[in-house]
A = this chain, B = another copy of it.
Amino acid sequence: MPKSIKKEINRENLLNQGVTTLMGQGYHGTGLQEILDAVNIPKGSFYNYFGSKENFGAEVIQHYIDPFITQLAAHLQQSETDALSAIQLYFTELIAELEKNQFKGGCLLGNLMGEIGDTSEVCQKSLQSAVNRYRNLLQSGLAKAQQQGTVRLDKSAEDMADLLLNSWQGALLRMKIEKSSAPVKQCCNQLLGEFFRA
């Protein structure tokens, strides 16, 4: 097996484990050794793949959000369901996943925004990019729903996307400390079920 491929596998494993561990214990609460042990990669190698813990964190952020964007985009492209229903279904699936994890972790973006969003410039940039990518997709979904007549037209899709995203982040925090999916369900019902409706 060529080394260049092994390198990519190692990088991928580190990023996957980074998502899991940073989600569970936060940035400063996680030591590199813990991640390295989990995927059996020696410490010395780490700095060949990533220049620093901070750079690693920035890459983990992007690696984390990718699947969410893919999943939401897939729902929005389903031509047989309207956009609002697609978004609702997407969030229903997220809630099911959160319940499966017993409300631990929440959203890595939200957690890291709070912990290091204003102290690590590198991670801040990465968080900006990740949040914007997600927000823009949500916005385009809401705009599509507006065209389909299921979402009100007197508010901009941009404003609604921001409100939905912010409320969702806040609800995730509440979920974590209340160990209940009630906050996130309430959030979706209030916005997607009522406020945004045409």
Contact = CB atoms under 8 A, between A and B. Distances in A.
- The copy count of this chain in the complex is 2
A114 B169 CA distance: 10
A119 B23 CA distance: 11
A105 B111 CA distance: 13
Contact of A162 (B24, B103, B115, B186): B186
B177 A124 contact: yes
B169 A128 contact: no
A116 B176 CA distance: 9
A8 interface: no
Contacts of A105: 118
Interface in A102-142: 103-106, 110-119, 124, 127-128, 131
Nearest to A26: B115
Contacts of A114: 26, 106, 110-115, 173, 176
A101 B122 CA distance: 21
A157 B96 CA distance: 27
A29 to B, nearest CB: 4
20 contacts: A25-B119, A26-B26, A26-B115, A28-B28, A103-B118, A104-B118, A106-B114, A110-B114, A110-B173, A111-B115, A113-B114, A114-B176, A117-B177, A118-B179, A128-B178, A159-B190, A166-B167, A166-B168, A166-B169, A166-B187
